[in-house]
């Protein structure tokens, strides 16, 4: 098991290096002079050149990239061009907030998406199924920034149940988590429903029913265990969507997380800050997928056997 985890972690390294090269290239090769953005409209050409020189922007692309990677491997990810703060420090302030938001959204996604998907499948072609299917379709279609504002208007401004902005208490995370999870939860709901439907039609379910098992036993003992396997993968993959969605949600709810940090950095063409944010998100997604794979092995006896055999 340890070897498997180590192997997977090592495989993450080339992925991260590939991503770093891609982002570095995008930041460097797209138009827009960071010197001008940082120094402002009154800066003269001399000032701009001095700034570029100071930040090694006059060096060739690959020299700059390998310098960056070299420093990064020593733990030095540089200082923000815009604020001059250490980018790693800046990121570390923001991570807990984003993790709280993502965890909240994931929690809602699982506790609502999976059971409602199951009910919808078990009660196929009933009003309950129609309602949830239509709701899922609507939730998938609503843009997060609009849903966020609407939730704020209703539950914060009018009903005064939750605060509109900030991230100090549990209450602050309710509306952002709902906003962040809405579309993804709907997606999970639909996936759970279709998986469940597929499993429910299998022969062994008919056999279980034929031998006189109760409906609850058929659904929870026989059908659910098999239907959940692909759902776990989807939950893992959706973590990436949640991290990406956090960009918009954090901006709408004025939450100081990794998303807002990244958005501000991109606007300023602040390469060191953008790089560390994207690398963090990529690493987080990689790790979550690793965890999902490990869980998968425990949940699916076939995989566990394969793994044990291979060992």
Partner 1 sequence: MKSIFKQALGLILVLIMTCGVFGCTSPSDTTTAQESTEPASGSTEATAASDVRTDLNFGLTGDPQSLDPSKTTDQMSKAIWYQMYDTCIMRDNDGNHYPGLAESWEISEDGKTVILHIRQGVKFHDGSDLTAADIVFSLGLLCDSPQTTSKMVSMSAENIFADDDYTVRIELASPFGAILDVLSCDTRIVCKSAYESMGAEEFNKSPVGSGPYKFVERKTGEKIVLEANEDYWRGAPTIKKITFKIMTDSNTAVLALEKGELDFLSHAPLIARQELMDTDGINWYETDLAGNIYIVFNEDSEIFSNPLVREAIAYAVDKEEMVIGAVEGNGTPQSTMVPPSDAGYIDGFPDIPHDEEKAKELLAEAGYPDGFSFKTITQENATYQKPAEVLQGQLRKVGINMEIEVLERGTFNDQMHASNFDMLVGHWTTPIPDGYFLIYTLAHSSNIGNQNFSRINDPELDAQLDIIKTSVDEAERTAAFRRADEIIQENTYFVPLYTFKAACAANEKLMGVQADPVYKFQVYDYYWAE
Which residues would be at the binding site for partner 1 (CB under 8 A)? 30-34, 36-37, 39-45, 47-48, 50-51, 79, 82-85, 90, 93-94, 112, 115-116, 119, 128, 131-132, 135, 138-139, 142, 146-147, 149-158, 160, 163-167, 178, 182, 251-257, 260-261, 263-264, 267, 269
| Alpha helices (H) in 201-270, listed in sequence order | 203-210, 215-216, 224-252, 258-267
**Cβ neighbours of 261 (radius 10 Å):** 27
Phi and psi at residue 235, to the nearest 5°: -60, -45
- The residue among 79 and 226 lying less far from partner 1, judged by its C-beta, is 79
Tell the smallest beta-carbon distance from residue 5 to partner 1 (Å).
34
- The residue among 15 and 137 lying less far from partner 1, judged by its C-beta, is 137
Phi and psi at residue 79, to the nearest 5°: -110, 150
Q: Which residue's structure tokens are 């056999």? A: 207
- The residue among 142 and 283 lying less far from partner 1, judged by its C-beta, is 142
Token pair for residue 77?
């990810």
- The residue among 252 and 282 lying less far from partner 1, judged by its C-beta, is 252
- The residue among 142 and 237 lying less far from partner 1, judged by its C-beta, is 142
- Is 9 in contact with 290 (CB distance < 8 Å)? yes
- The residue among 165 and 306 lying less far from partner 1, judged by its C-beta, is 165
Name the nearest CA neighbour of 38 among 85, 90, 87, 80. 80
CA 9 to chain centre: 19
Tell the smallest beta-carbon distance from residue 48 to partner 1 (Å).
8
Tell the smallest beta-carbon distance from residue 209 to partner 1 (Å).
18
Tell the smallest beta-carbon distance from residue 124 to partner 1 (Å).
14
Q: Which residues contact 180 (CB under 8 A, 6 or more apart)?
A: 101, 102, 104, 105, 144, 242, 245, 246, 249
Tell the smallest beta-carbon distance from residue 263 to partner 1 (Å).
7
Tell the smallest beta-carbon distance from residue 210 to partner 1 (Å).
23
**β-bridge partners, 86:** 79
- The residue among 93 and 107 lying less far from partner 1, judged by its C-beta, is 93
**Cβ neighbours of 202 (radius 10 Å):** 14
- Is 55 in contact with 48 (CB distance < 8 Å)? no
Return d(Cα 209, Cα 7) in angstroms, integer: 43
Tell the smallest beta-carbon distance from residue 49 to partner 1 (Å).
10
Tell the smallest beta-carbon distance from residue 276 to partner 1 (Å).
14
- The residue among 178 and 235 lying less far from partner 1, judged by its C-beta, is 178
Is 79 in a helix, a strand, or coil? Answer: strand
CA count, 13 A, side-chain hemisphere, 211:
9
């Amino acid at each position: 098991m340890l070897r498997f985890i180590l192997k997977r972690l090592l495989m993450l390294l080339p992925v991260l290096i590939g991503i770093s090269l891609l982002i570095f290239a995008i930041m460097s090769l797209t138009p827009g002079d960071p010197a001008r953005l940082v120094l402002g409209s009154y800066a003269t050409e001399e000032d701009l050149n001095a700034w570029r020189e100071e930040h090694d922007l006059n060096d060739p692309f690959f020299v700059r990239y390998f310098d960056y990677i070299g420093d990064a491997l020593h733990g030095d990810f540089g200082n923000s061009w815009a604020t001059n703060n250490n980018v790693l420090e800046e990121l570390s302030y923001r991570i807990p907030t984003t993790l709280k938001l993502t965890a909240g959204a994931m929690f809602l996604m699982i506790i609502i998406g999976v059971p409602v998907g199951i009910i919808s499948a078990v009660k196929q072609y009933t009003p309950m199924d129609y309602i949830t299917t239509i709701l899922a379709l609507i939730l998938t279609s609503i843009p997060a920034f609009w849903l966020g504002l609407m939730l704020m208007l209703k539950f914060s401004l009018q009903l005064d149940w939750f605060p509109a902005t900030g991230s100090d208490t549990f209450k602050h995370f309710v509306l952002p988590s709902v906003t962040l999870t809405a579309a993804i939860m709907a997606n999970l709901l639909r996936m759970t429903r279709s998986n469940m439907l597929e499993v429910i039609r299998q022969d062994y379910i008919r056999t279980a029913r034929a031998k006189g098992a109760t409906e609850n036993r058929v659904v929870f003992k026989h059908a659910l265990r098999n239907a959940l396997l692909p759902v776990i993968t989807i939950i893992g993959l959706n973590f990436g969507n949640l991290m990406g969605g956090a960009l918009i949600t954090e901006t709408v709810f004025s939450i100081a997380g990794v998303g807002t940090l990244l958005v501000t950095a991109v606007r300023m063409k602040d390469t060191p800050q953008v790089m560390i944010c994207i690398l963090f998100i990529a690493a987080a997604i990689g790790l979550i997928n690793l965890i999902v794979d490990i869980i998968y092995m425990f949940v699916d006896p076939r995989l566990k056997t394969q793994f044990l055999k291979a060992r």
